Amino acid sequence: EAQVTQNPRYLITVTGKKLTVTCSQNMNHEYMSWYRQDPGLGLRQIYYSMNVEVTDKGDVPEGYKVSRKEKRNFPLILESPSPNQTSLYFCASSSDRYYGYTFGSGTRLTVV
Amino acid sequence: SQQGEEDPQALSIQEGENATMNCSYKTSINNLQWYRQNSGRGLVHLILIRSNEREKHSGRLRVTLDTSKKSSSLLITASRAADTASYFCATGANSKLTFGKGITLSVRP
C-alpha cells in the first residue's frame, strides 16, 4: 500500500531534550515536506526537500532541522524543543513539488 | 506566508444539499488543490486544478478556478454525513504548496 509513515504518533517530552520524528515513504517520491498544524493558524510549512541532499526552509523553520540522506526518509529533528513547538506535525510526499501530496497520519507532540 | 484564504470558515448543511466553499489567494500560482481532513488525521488530496484550467470534475466534486479574480470554489454535490470534515485549499507556487486555514463542513443527517 502506498503510504507515508510517521513515528511516533504521540510524543510528550521535556524542554531541551532532543528528539527526532521519522518519516518514510514507499512511493519513490522525490519531493517531501514537513508541516505543523496549529488551531487558528492552519498548516504551515517547516522544511521541504526536492531530492536527496536537497533541502530548503519553509515558512517556519526556526528550531527545526531536517536531513535527506535517502530518497525514502525525511526525519524532522528538534535539537532543543520548547513549549511553543507543541503542535500536530505532518510529513507529506509527492512525485513533484506541484502535484497532490500524500500525507502521513501525523505526530502529536507536546513539549512541557 | 498564508497564501489561500477559505470562505466561509464554517458551513453546516443538511444531507443531500450541495456545499460550496471558496478560496482566494494573492499571488500567481502554478496550480490550486483541495484537501480534506477528518478530525486530527492526515490530509487527503481531493482534486488539483492547473492555472490554465477553469473547471474540473471528480465524482461529486466540482472545482473552478478564476485566475483573474484569484479565486477558486469547491462544490460538493448531494452531500453525505461522511463528508463532514475540514477542507483546505492549497496553492502551488515558488516550489512550495501553501495551505489556507481551512473550512469546517458539518453535514447533518
Mean pLDDT, consecutive 10-residue stretches, chain B (109 aa), reads 77 96 92 93 94 96 96 97 96 85 94
Quick check: helix, strand or coil at residue B18? coil
Chain A nearest-CA distance from B46, in A, is: 8
Contact status of B57 with chain A (Cβ, < 8 Å): no
- Give the closest of B42, B45, B101 to A41, CB-based: B101
Quick check: helix, strand or coil at residue B102? coil
- The full 3-state SS of A27-54, as one line of letters, equals CCCCEEEEEEEECCCEEEEEEEEEECCE
Residues of chain A with pLDDT under 70: none
* DSSP result, A63-89: T-EE--SSSSB--EEESS--GGG-EEE
Chain A residues with CB-CB distance to B88 below 8 A: 42-43
Chain A residues with CB-CB distance to B61 below 8 A: none
Q: What's the pLDDT score for residue A11?
A: 97
Q: What's the pLDDT score for residue B93?
A: 81
B79 and B63 Cβ atoms separated by less than 8 Å: no
Q: What's the pLDDT score for residue B2?
A: 52
Burial of B10 (0-12, 13-18, 19+ CB in 10 A): exposed
In this structure, the dihedral spanned by the alpha carbons of residues B63, A33, A36 and B51, taken in order and rounded to 10 degrees, is: -20
The CA-based angle B98-A80-A41, given to 5 degrees, is 25
A68 and A52 Cβ atoms separated by less than 8 Å: yes
Q: Which of B43, B44, B48, B61 best tests the A interface by mutation, with the highest count of A CBs <10 A?
A: B43
Residue B61, phi then psi, degrees to nearest 5: -100, 140
Q: What's the pLDDT score for residue B6?
A: 85
